Amino acid sequence: MATQILFGFHAVTVRLKSAPRSVVEVHVDATRRDQRMRQFVERAKEAGARLIDSDDARLQRLAGTHRHQGVVVQAICPQGVRTRMYEESGPLRDVMARDSTLTPEDVAEAVWQALQDDRFLVLPHPEVAGYYAGRAADTDRWLGAMNKLQQRLDPVSTAAPTPAKEI
């Protein structure tokens, strides 16, 4: 499992709409009170996100850039967690079982500890640190490997295209 850092209105809004339960914390610029920020804060509250007022220095530190637009979110992206969804995940379960699987309590403890330490990168699965480094070091190779994995898991994507019918 890794924790993903997203920043900027668009990226964070998309995450709040598509996977609101993955959002751990939303840091917002405490001094920014324009209409765009007010609308964003309202959407984040509707999604049930935990909002934290932060100063610009903290936002820059968390995002790793000054281009955060006053919004930084910590989103959890788990790998193998022993839940009903994991148990019912079909062929994907075999892929996730290759590495360690954790209990929801293990994940909660890792997130809690990261919040206490003010860390944004949470890696309860030790092997994920290597994946993360590999993705950063050779993105093209990592993307190719993910594409091959997806093709193995999704037989529809590897099937021959169906010929178009003439009308």
pLDDT 10s digits, 114-146: 778 776 667 778 787 788 788 888 888 988 888
- Alpha-carbon Rg for the chain, nearest whole angstrom, is 19
**84 found inside a domain:** yes
**165 found inside a domain:** no
**116 found inside a domain:** yes
The reported pLDDT for the residue numbered 57 is 92
From residue 66, alpha-carbon distances to 39, 45, 57, 62, 71 in Å are 22, 24, 9, 10, 11
Is the separation of the CB atoms in 1 and 128 below 8 Å?
yes
**121 found inside a domain:** yes
Tokens encoding 133: 């480094």
The reported pLDDT for the residue numbered 21 is 80
**164 found inside a domain:** no
Q: Which of 51, 72, 50, 52 is nearest to 60 (CA)?
A: 72
Provide the CATH number for the domain around residue 112: 3.30.1330.30
Q: How many domains does the chain have?
A: 1
**106 found inside a domain:** yes
Of residues 75 and 144, which shows the higher confidence score?
Answer: 144
Which residue type is seen at 62? L
Side-chain-facing half-sphere of 101: CA atoms under 13 Å: 16
Q: Residue 140: give the domain boundaries.
A: 2-154
**159 found inside a domain:** no
The stretches of the chain forming alpha helices (DSSP H) are 9-18, 35-46, 56-63, 84-87, 91-97, 104-116, 128-137, 139-153, 155-158
**85 found inside a domain:** yes
Tokens encoding 128: 């994920």
